Structure 1
């Protein structure tokens, strides 16, 4: 796709790595053309995963020369990312860049995003929305709060030093493509991928990235649902990989709580001859929950 346009734009690929741009798309007919046109000079192939769109997203992407892989029904962001990864892996891509189809990312930043991979410094690169000065001013308040909260949870579970765990603007080198296979269908796939990267000892680097929010880029998901979906998915994946961390520590806390309240209840019973129901119930309940978790 890009050989002629590269010569016209000064694009050089000293490492001769094949670069795919993958666009997860759902009803983005108003923005998909702009994203494709801006991205095509920075890659060898653009793949669009049309996740069950009911508008002209697929037709527009095909008319611009993109390879379109279609889901007959809307399966979710994570399913679209998995399809893009599978397609890039099967197509011989050395690097896959994911760019949202709603226009919130700047495709002109693709070169900066993939540069650490080309230099052999990273297996995966994240375009962080929170690195630039006044970044919070460009992000809706509740979304910014959600991003930071989710990032802290992911950082704690994965020991990855990232500032933006939910950014969809990412680059994956061949090692990452070969080892990451997200199973979450929803937005939780973004954090699942970070946990998989940690499990496979992948090197992750962040680079600053601009973000543009508009009516087209506004999420159709309820913010509370989005947050609980991502956190729930993250805990589920983490519990499978690190059961002691996810269940062992809370279990130990419940058991200690049970012991403290049990001693308190027995002390009162020994001194006054009466059993305090509330303390006893807390002790028994803590013991049961703690035993189940541990």
Structure 2
């Protein structure tokens, strides 16, 4: 662990522009109530990382003061946020600074010690090899780690993972809220960071924006580490936010991908399928209520008129889902031609 000696090598950003230069790999560490662990996390970050941005998210423990005073690492830059923005707001601020300083890959590491900084070379390897634009940890890959997790955590993550698959179109990923991530410069530049959620929905919302950019996302198997860290996450308070966020993102993704940016047979299948399902449900419920009130049984024709559209609609929707699963991005942004944007 680093000692708490005075260190003048730690830079504190004050809004003065920094000359842009290539810095290779940068790391962003959002800090809120991690004072006891952040120095240990910094000390474990290897030499492959050229810059480290410690983002103090208006931490009541004054983490920025500690890092500025105690850290000897010349790579460290402290960013102070005047008001608490949430983990997403802190990370986005770190992303912006890293991009401004010329970073090609930005790694996000939580300051609570749950992630092993020694794994950064493995985490960024798919991006360096040109196989991915965004790499995220997956704590559920190894069975030994899964057995140690509470059932509530397993069920909750499975539910969140399915919602994330639906809202982003990344059907092959799991553990969407994992905060151990690496992202390429090209992917960040194509995301509207100002619109990414600033609170706990950040990781899931960033995946949605990456999906709109057609970035390639893959999982990185990692072991889970749980010790005495304190989490400010309150599941019952944020469940509504997550549910609404995924529903809204799913609607936006479908509208943009299937009816604005592109229109195909899958678009027609989805549109007709949903209309048929809705017709079957509404007509069937209406006839059932009428039959119950009158006491007269519904005719076979009435039953078929309700069931057949619902069945056909389900088949068409499943066909669209099959298309959606197989349309996941395969070619990383770094391997594609640069965007051509109109001038002015």
* Partner in structure 2 of residue 262 of structure 1: 286
**Residue 210 (structure 1) aligns with:** 223
Partner of residue 43, structure 2 = 37
Matched, 1:200 2:206: no
Alpha-carbon deviation of 1:193?
1.2
Name the structure 1 match of 2:328: none
Matched, 1:108 2:114: no
Gaps of 5+ in 1: 1-15, 273-294
Distance 1:94 1:179, change over 3 A: same
Alpha-carbon distance in 2 for matches of 1:35, 1:139 = 23
| Contact 1:143/1:223 (8 A) holds in 2 | no
Secondary structure of 2:45 counterpart = helix
Judging changes above 3 Å, is the alpha-carbon distance between structure 1 residues 197 and 211 closer, same or farther for their aligned structure 2 residues?
Answer: same
Shift of the 250–122 alpha-carbon distance from structure 1 to 2, 3 Å rule, reads same
Render the CA deviation track for 1:82-131: whole Å, top value 9, x for unaligned: 11211111111000000011110000000000001111111111111111
Matched, 1:189 2:195: no
5+ residue gaps, structure 2, are 1-21, 259-269, 297-344
- The offset of 1:258, in angstroms, is 1.8
The answer to whether the Cα contact below 8 Å between 1:96 and 1:172 also exists between their aligned partners in 2 is yes
Does the CA contact (< 8 Å) of 1:187 and 1:229 recur in 2?
no
For 1:128-277, what aligned pairs fall within 5 Å after superposition? 128-160=138-170, 161-180=172-191, 181=193, 182-216=195-229, 218-243=230-255, 253-267=277-291
Counterpart Cα distance in 1 of 2:28 and 2:217: 19
How far apart are residue 254 of structure 1 and its match? 4.7
Q: Could you tell which deviates more after superposition, 168-177 or 69-78?
A: 69-78
Which residue of the partner structure matches residue 67 of structure 1? Answer: 77
Question: What is the TM-score normalised by the length of structure 1?
Answer: 0.78
Confirm or deny: 8 A CA contact 2:139 2:224 kept in the other structure: yes
Q: Distance in 2 between matches of 1:62 and 1:123?
A: 32
Q: Deviations over 1:15-36 (max 9, x none)?
A: x871100011102101000111
Equivalent residue, structure 2, for 1:89: 99
| Greater CA drift, 67-76 or 111-120 | 67-76
Compute the displacement of 1:40 (Å): 4.8
Cα shift at 1:226 = 3.7
Structure-2 separation of matches of 1:82 and 1:207: 21
Q: Relative to 1, partners in 2 of residues 1:61 and 1:143: Cα closer, same or farther, differing over 3 Å?
A: farther
TM-score scaled to structure 2, two decimals?
Answer: 0.67
C-alpha displacement of 1:240: 2.7
